[in-house]
Chain A
């Protein structure tokens, strides 16, 4: 019997190694797997490369992981936002490597990784600071840059409902990066609001099929 539902957070985080590339879902705080980030903090893996749209806010979650010195490099599109204090401090002090990627290129690099496409050409970013030194080519008169796939060792994602095969549904704009990150990582760990019996999720409504998901942990939504 396939059962991807894990009993506790320790099991959800088991085996995440030092030096891993960790893809973290969410756009701002919506769709961000807060409980899994806390779990990773507890678990102890360090020297991490984190891929996320934003670089954390306040001193909790992703910001706390960075403040603890566990993140070597962050790859994101929008590091600086209201409250990204820890990022600013570490970056200024030279304690954090930063790679800024246009948001669509970031999503597509992970989609490519999940789809077995090692690299692709895109016009986005051509002729800008962000693509300096990358190979270029022209297609039908449009100059493009070569971007490489961005695979993860682990994806930490947030979803709405799951079943024991790891099929996932999402809530409104909470979907964002989560499905592409699930595809792009060797191991996707999903934090979900509810676990449903196998066969009760509408197959038409499943956005991430279980083939992309390794572990599921139920984290009920906080009241209110």
Chain B
């Protein structure tokens, strides 16, 4: 492989990069995995209100050893805290926040995203015996905007950004922006638009790792 010299982003750097783009005042739901880590990079003084599907609005970081409360968990069933100003709701109200379009942003992981915004993130094949969907379909269909954070290719090098998803869909035409370890890419009417690339990475090299045509965003210059 004759590749130019560049450093892909680490998982932490990907989470940090997503966090940069979340402004104060947004209500945000973070999925499991790298998305959960995004909260670590939003400083408390930038007031972003995190929502957890199990009925927590205004979720704070993991508790210290002395203030752990077994009655307070997040969607990943990890112990969390409630920030000043936070509130508890029941499941139907929690999903009314999601499905009623009240969340400014949802960040999810994914297996694949297609150039029309289709997302596949809940089942790896149509024959999967008992896939678990949780709140993914509600979030993908309901939030005002959906961002995906994921590795640019699979472990064996296959592109995750594709012309059309091969895995079962979570939602159609819903992804707005994708953050990978190689690039930030918008989903637009003409397809994937590259907004930003890892330092040292060339456009052609990025295209070679992508399963659909890339366009250069005017923003990226």
Contact = CB atoms under 8 A, between A and B. Distances in A.
B137 interface: yes
A209 interface: no
Contacts of B91: 27, 103, 107, 175-177, 179-180
Interface in B92-129: 92, 94-95, 98-99, 123, 126, 129
B180 interface: no
A27 B91 CA distance: 10
A100 B77 contact: no
Contact of A172 (B88, B98, B129): B88
B54 A176 contact: yes
B90 A175 contact: yes
Contact of A130 (B56, B95, B135, B137): B137
Interface string B166-190: 0011111000000000000000000
Interface string B123-152: 100100111111111100110000000000
A129 B168 contact: yes
A123 B91 CA distance: 18
Contacts of A27: 54-55, 73, 77, 91
Contacts, number: 137
Given A128-B168, A129-B126, A104 B88 contact: no
Contacts of A110: 92
Interface stretch (B10-18, B64-72, B204-212): B64-72
B90 A173 contact: no
Interface residues on A, range: 35 or more
A105 B99 CA distance: 9
Contact of B138 (A104, A111, A129, A143): A104
Contacts of A174: 71
Nearest to A74: B130
B53 interface: yes
Nearest to B90: A179
A92 interface: yes
Interface stretch (A12-20, A65-73, A76-84, A194-202): A76-84
B22 interface: no
Contact of A124 (B72, B82, B131, B142): B142
A178 B135 contact: no
Nearest to B59: A173
B216 interface: no
A180 B93 CA distance: 9
A179 B96 CA distance: 14
Given A110-B92, A123-B142, A102 B133 contact: yes
B44 interface: no
B90 A77 contact: no
A176 B141 CA distance: 21
Given A30-B70, A87-B130, A180-B90, A77 B141 contact: no
B129 A102 contact: no
Given A128-B171, A174-B71, A175-B89, A102 B137 contact: yes
A103 B134 contact: yes
B57 to A, nearest CB: 11
Contact of B169 (A28, A88, A128, A171): A128
A118 interface: no
Interface in A4-59: 27-28, 30-31
Best-surrounded residue of A92, A101, A102, A143 (most CB of chain B within 10 A): A102
Given A103-B91, A125-B141, 18 more contacts: A77-B132, A78-B132, A79-B130, A87-B130, A92-B129, A104-B95, A104-B142, A108-B92, A108-B99, A126-B171, A128-B137, A128-B170, A130-B137, A170-B88, A172-B88, A176-B54, A176-B55, A179-B91
8 contacts: A27-B77, A28-B77, A30-B71, A80-B131, A111-B92, A173-B71, A175-B88, A175-B91
Interface of A: 27-28, 30-31, 77-81, 87-88, 91-92, 98, 100-105, 107-108, 110-111, 122-130, 143, 170-180, 207
Interface of B: 52-56, 69-73, 77, 82, 88-92, 94-95, 98-99, 123, 126, 129-138, 141-142, 168-172
